[in-house]
């Protein structure tokens, strides 16, 4: 009786099955976490999200939801670690770089925050919020000349955003470009939507 032929190797098939299983496990854990979070079961949601990321570290939605929960709970060290790990795996995620930089700013780590932002700047050239934040950070680092082009990009992309016009005006003023600064302050005032302090500052600059 002829022997039944056996496949030469099952390793590739097994690898594919394991890969699909990991993705499915991550998605199932993420869905459980999202449901638990909606129902106010935060600790259960966090555990499920960590389970999802253990199964698939590149599950963007799971990492994003866990990040928002950690920040909401003021667990900034854990949030920073989560973001750094995510950026190592998916370095093109500029939103994560900006989130990490904001945490570093909150901790007073301004040079480190700028270093973090620079890593994904090429992917965020056309992101007004990213460029505006870069300008604000450089301004706080007392580097107005470098801040100016970032603010200029931000107002080009979002011309109705008065806070970036105000930032541009302050950077131009610090760089000794008074006439251009005044023009930026006027545009900030015209755009409106400044807070009370911002509006008062613009009014003071235009006197």
Residue 83 lies in a domain: no
pLDDT at 11: 38
pLDDT at 149: 98
Evaluate if pTM is beyond 0.85: no
Residue 80 lies in a domain: no
Split into its structural domains, the chain has a count of 1
Residue 59 lies in a domain: no
**Measured distance CA(196)–CA(187) in Å, rounded:** 16
Give the residue ranges of the chain where pLDDT is below 70.
Answer: 1-20
Of the candidates 136, 135, 132, 102, which has an alpha carbon nearest to the alpha carbon of residue 116?
A: 102
Residue 153 lies in a domain: yes
**164 lies in which domain range?**
128-207
Q: Token match 């390793």: residue?
A: 11
pLDDT at 49: 97
Residue 65 lies in a domain: no
The pair of structure tokens assigned to 114 is: 């700028």
Residue 69 lies in a domain: no
pLDDT at 28: 95
Of the candidates 79, 118, 78, 77, which has an alpha carbon nearest to the alpha carbon of residue 97?
A: 118
In terms of Cβ atoms closer than 10 Å to its own Cβ (0-12, 13-18, 19+), residue 11 is: exposed
CATH number for the domain spanning 158: value is: 1.25.40.10
pLDDT at 15: 37
Three-state secondary structure string covering 142-204: CCHHHHHHHHHHHHHHCCCCHHHHHHHHHHHHHCCCHHHHHHHHHHHHHHCCCCHHHHHHHHH
Residue 117 lies in a domain: no
Residue 23 lies in a domain: no
């Amino acid at each position: 009786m002829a022997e039944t032929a056996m496949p030469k190797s099952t390793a590739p098939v097994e690898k594919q099955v394991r890969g699909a299983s990991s993705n499915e496990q991550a998605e199932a854990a993420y869905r459980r976490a999202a449901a638990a979070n909606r129902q106010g079961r935060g600790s259960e949601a966090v555990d499920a999200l960590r389970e999802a990321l253990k199964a698939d570290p590149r599950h963007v939605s799971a990492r994003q939801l866990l990040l928002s929960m950690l920040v909401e709970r003021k667990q900034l060290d854990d949030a920073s670690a989560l973001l750094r790990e995510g950026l190592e795996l998916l370095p093109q995620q500029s939103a994560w770089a900006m989130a990490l930089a904001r945490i570093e700013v909150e901790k007073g780590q301004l040079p480190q925050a700028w270093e973090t932002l620079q890593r994904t700047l090429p992917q965020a050239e056309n992101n007004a919020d990213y460029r505006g934040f870069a300008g604000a950070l450089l301004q706080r680092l007392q580097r107005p000349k470098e801040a100016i082009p970032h603010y200029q990009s931000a107002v080009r992309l979002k011309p109705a955003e008065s806070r970036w016009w105000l930032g541009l005006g302050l950077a131009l003023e610090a760089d000794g470009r008074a006439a251009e600064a005044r023009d930026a302050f006027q545009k900030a005032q015209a755009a409106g939507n400044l807070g009370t302090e911002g509006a008062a500052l613009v009014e003071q600059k235009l006197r």
